[in-house]
Amino acid sequence: MAKIRLFIDHPLGAGQGIALDSDQAHYLHGVMRQGPGDEILVFNGQDGEWLARIERLGKRNGELVAVAQSASQRNPPDLWLVFAPIKKARTDFIVEKAAEMGAARILPVQTERTNSERIRQDRLQAHAVEAAEQCGGTFVPPVGDLVSLQKLLAGWDPIRRILWADEALAGPAETLSGLPEGPWAILIGPEGGWSDAERQQLGSLPFVTRVSLGPRILRADTAAVAAIALWQSHLGDWKG
């Protein structure tokens, strides 16, 4: 059974040839010590997972051929994660865990107290790809560019409800019972908390639901994981 998995930005089908870029070729050749005839697993986020055979492999390029589909496409529920970026390693952690746990889209947002004024969207997207490769996923959530909270809310479609993890509600964790199914987004704030103006704005929006994540105030990265797990267990694809 092949254990190496790669995300391939290429259509997949039986007999389909797949050109490797230099990074992929280096990984297979120099790191994993693979060669012609070896088999790996590949996915592109749309066509499921495929068993692929290495036809040609060098240090900087190579080619695969798709042999047979090994798993069908598994898409996540319609859940977005909106979060204020924090320190680099912890922001990476949020993106990785959101991809593993079934977020369909990841949106970094700039709030009044956000510590980071810029992000490397390409680096965060690469972390989402790596998470999907390692956890057996066939879908990679797109990671958006950093946008201001005001701009995000101004263009928000109210059909998508927002689950606002509000540290001011620290207390018994919510069950989310009675909340409607459908498209949702989880909103996680910055390390410094929400400003009074942001609280007032969020509290006035009819599509925003405040939620407690338990009796202790959680770090932003922990809160993101806890909120996704809470939503998935009640409204997502974890529920029984």
Which tens digits make up the pLDDT trace of 200-222?
Answer: 999 999 999 999 888 888 999 99
Residue 18 has pLDDT above 80, yes or no: yes
Residue 160 has pLDDT above 70, yes or no: yes
Tell me how far apart the alpha carbons of residues 44 and 49 are, in angstroms, rounded to a whole number. Answer: 8
Tell me how far apart the alpha carbons of residues 141 and 83 are, in angstroms, rounded to a whole number. Answer: 14
- Domain containing residue 37: CATH number: 2.40.240.20
Contact assessment for residue 224 and residue 94, using Cβ atoms and an 8 Å cutoff: yes
Residue 1 has pLDDT above 70, yes or no: no
Residue whose token pair is 């009796």: 215
Question: 142 Cβ partners below 8 Å, 6+ apart?
Answer: 105, 106, 125, 128
Q: Is residue 163 located within the same domain as residue 129? A: yes
The token duo for 40 is 């790996």
The model carries a pTM of: 0.92
Q: Average pLDDT over the chain, rounded to whole?
A: 93
Please report whether residue 53 resides in a domain: yes
Q: Is residue 126 located within the same domain as residue 11? A: no
Please report whether residue 204 resides in a domain: yes
Looking at the DSSP assignment, which residues form a beta bridge with residue 186?
81, 163
Q: Is residue 63 located within the same domain as residue 97? A: no
Q: Give the CA angle between residues 217, 131, 213 to the nearest 5°.
A: 15
Contact assessment for residue 213 and residue 223, using Cβ atoms and an 8 Å cutoff: yes
What is the reported pLDDT for 240? Answer: 66
Please report whether residue 34 resides in a domain: yes
What is the reported pLDDT for 229? Answer: 95
Q: Is residue 33 located within the same domain as residue 88? A: no
Q: Is residue 140 located within the same domain as residue 190? A: yes
Tell me how far apart the alpha carbons of residues 139 and 110 are, in angstroms, rounded to a whole number. Answer: 26
Q: Which of 71, 103, 126 lies at the terminal end of a domain, its last residue?
A: 71
The total number of structural domains that make up the chain: 2
Q: What is the pLDDT of residues 171-180, one digit of tens each?
A: 776 668 788 9
**Between residues 7 and 170, the one the model is more confident about:** 7
Domain with 11, as residue range(s), is 5-71
Mean pLDDT of 39-54: 97
Question: What is the pLDDT confidence band of residue 3, given thresholds at 50, 70 and 90?
Answer: confident
Q: Which of 71, 92, 112 lies at the terminal end of a domain, its last residue?
A: 71
Enumerate the H helices of the chain as residue ranges. Answer: 22-26, 88-101, 121-135, 149-154, 196-204, 220-235
The number of C-alpha atoms within 13 Å of 173 and in the hemisphere containing its C-beta is 13
Question: 31 Cβ partners below 8 Å, 6+ apart?
Answer: none
